[in-house]
Amino acid sequence: MLHSLPIAPRFYVTAPQTCPYLEGRRERKLFTSLHGAHAAKLNNVLSKQGFRRSQNVLYRPSCPTCAACISTRVVVNDFVPSKSQRRIMKRNADLERCAASPWATEEQYALFRDYIECRHPEGGMTDMDIFEFASMVEDIPVDNQVTEYVATGPDGKRRLTAVCLTDIHDDGLSMVYSFFDPARLRDSLGTYVILDHISLAREAGLKYIYLGYWVPGSKKMDYKVRFNAMEIYRNGRWKSLGKPSSHCAAQFTPTTSVEEQVAGIRLPDSRPVL
């Protein structure tokens, strides 16, 4: 099924599949590919409209009977860590942040395999080999970086402990994918990496940390609303989340067709993106 704007890029929708977040629901995605000289600009503009990047694709949920997936971002300068988040930062004070250009290593892949096999053994990335992993890290036509977190043991040996693949937008950082040492599960490394990226954005003078989708009613997504100063994208604009308990999946139902959704997408204001 194909839908396109008068000018490129072209948008497509996936066939409905079982929703991984809410039982009994079906999911469908609206997506476009990232390629060419304007890929970075397109990534910037669409990310501000609730899109998310996965490798060379930008997508946004477009489910026929549900609109529970809500795009989120943290307002960096308004964020204040909670007591539990400050404890997490203290527990991980041994980690050293190392940000670099996107380049895959065997050490990263070994950590990725440990993480996937422990945390997501039935997920879609289970069968990813080292070449596919390298492609996920390196073959990206947008501004991005790999952030590694390294721990130094009592013996002086350095051990890769966490990795985050991050897009760099003109107004913030988008945390595309992260993985970490499952042996340090009690250290809440996933939360720590987000907290450190908030610090990283503040140091760089960037306004936002884009965290992807929150789904009310999905326990696996609840961690995102534990960060204060959260904004959500609803009805074409960003607004304060307010109390998470005031939102429920049942209240979000689609109001426009796919054609209307595509027609409402704002594109970069330069030459057409091909």
DSSP state, 19? -
pLDDT digits 0-9 by tens, 30-76: 999 998 878 999 999 999 999 999 999 999 999 988 889 999 999 99
**Fold (topology level) of 76-208:** Aminopeptidase (3.40.630)
Cα–Cα distance for residue pair 32/226, rounded to 1 Å: 31
pLDDT digits 0-9 by tens, 188-206: 999 999 999 999 999 999 9
Looking at 10-24, 137-151, 260-274, which range is the least confident one?
260-274
Q: What pLDDT was estimated at residue 271?
A: 43
For residue 270, pLDDT over 50 is answered with: no
Q: Looking at residues 107-112, what average pLDDT do you find? A: 96
Contact 98, 150 (CB under 8 A): yes
Structure tokens at 62: 């477009």
Whole-number average pLDDT of the chain: 90
* Residue among 32, 27, 38, 40 nearest 5 (CA): 32
Q: Using 50, 70 and 90 to split pLDDT, how confident is the model at 274?
A: very low
- State the pTM of this model: 0.90
Q: Using 50, 70 and 90 to split pLDDT, how confident is the model at 244?
A: confident
Q: What pLDDT was estimated at residue 1?
A: 53
Main-chain dihedrals φ then ψ at residue 102, nearest 5 degrees: -65, 110
pLDDT digits 0-9 by tens, 89-108: 999 999 999 988 899 999 99
Q: What pLDDT was estimated at residue 183?
A: 93
Q: What pLDDT was estimated at residue 145?
A: 94
pLDDT digits 0-9 by tens, 115-127: 999 988 777 788 8
pLDDT digits 0-9 by tens, 200-225: 999 999 999 999 999 998 888 889 99
For residue 168, pLDDT over 90 is answered with: yes
Antiparallel, parallel or unpaired: β 57-61 and 52-54: antiparallel
Domain map of the chain by residue range?
A: 76-208
Cα–Cα distance for residue pair 113/10, rounded to 1 Å: 34
